[in-house]
Amino acid sequence: MVDEKKLLLLRHGQTDWNVAFKYQGSMDIPLNETGELQAEKTADRLNEWVPDVCLVSPLLRAFRTAEIVSERWQGGPELSVMDDLREISFGAWEGMSVGEVMDAYSDDYEGWRNDPGSWTPPGGEPFEKVRERAKRVVSRVLSCDAERVMAVTHGGLIRAIVASLFSLPDSSVWRFRLDNCAMVGVSFWRGSPSLMFFNDSLHQVVEVGTKLPLSF
């Protein structure tokens, strides 16, 4: 096994439901035109940062993002779907906007935003289960014989992975902003993690085709 390992976590591109501030969760919503463009810009950024392993959520918005990025790689890895990388299930809230949820489930919403470990959306996935999935993702990353691992996934799951890696409380997970097609970098030295960057989206403020290599 390698002593040093780098994990690049990439959130999927924009969807129409992102624009409408709707909870997507387990719903299979495709990228919109802006999301496709965001993925193209991400591909420009990662043109020379080719992972040894690329893990992908089974949901279309993440898988399509990974497809666009991986098309630029020369001799890059196959996309490996990992079910544990799917987004948190928000149950009855899926398809509802944040405002609609706040109106219809005000107490549940406030409790869940402040401490998701103690509150679960009606019919949704308990955060304890999300934590378990995050730990399985980390375990797979650490067990594979690769120096560079990329995981294309979702905002909620990325936050859960970071919280798991750095022993952060459940109450912290919604305190981190993570934009569409933004990246998080974690470096491991003999299994010990260091957060190198969070919500890196510099590639989204330049034109398609701009060279902006990732130094990681």
pLDDT digits (tens, 9 = 90+) for 133-143: 999 999 999 99
Catalytic-role residue among 12, 40, 154, 203: 12
Give residue 1's pLDDT.
72
Residue 74 is assigned to a ligand binding site? no
Give residue 4's pLDDT.
95
CA distance 50 to 216: 11
What CATH code is assigned to 4-205? 3.40.50.1240
* pLDDT above 80: residue 169: yes
Share of the chain above pLDDT 90, in %: 95
Among 5, 2, 22, CA closest to 194: 5
| Catalytic status, residue 33 | no
| Catalytic status, residue 48 | no
Q: Are residues 135 and 164 in contact, defined by beta-carbon separation less than 8 angstroms? A: yes
Residue 65 is assigned to a ligand binding site? no
CA distance 22 to 96: 5
Residue 16 is assigned to a ligand binding site? yes
Residue 13 is assigned to a ligand binding site? yes
> Using one digit for the tens of pLDDT, what is the confidence trace for 173-205?
999 999 999 999 999 999 999 999 999 999 999
Paired strand residues for 195: 186
> Using one digit for the tens of pLDDT, what is the confidence trace for 53-66?
999 999 999 999 99
Q: How far apart are the first and last CA of the chain?
A: 20
Catalytic-role residue among 40, 87, 94, 125: 87
Among 48, 80, 47, CA closest to 62: 80
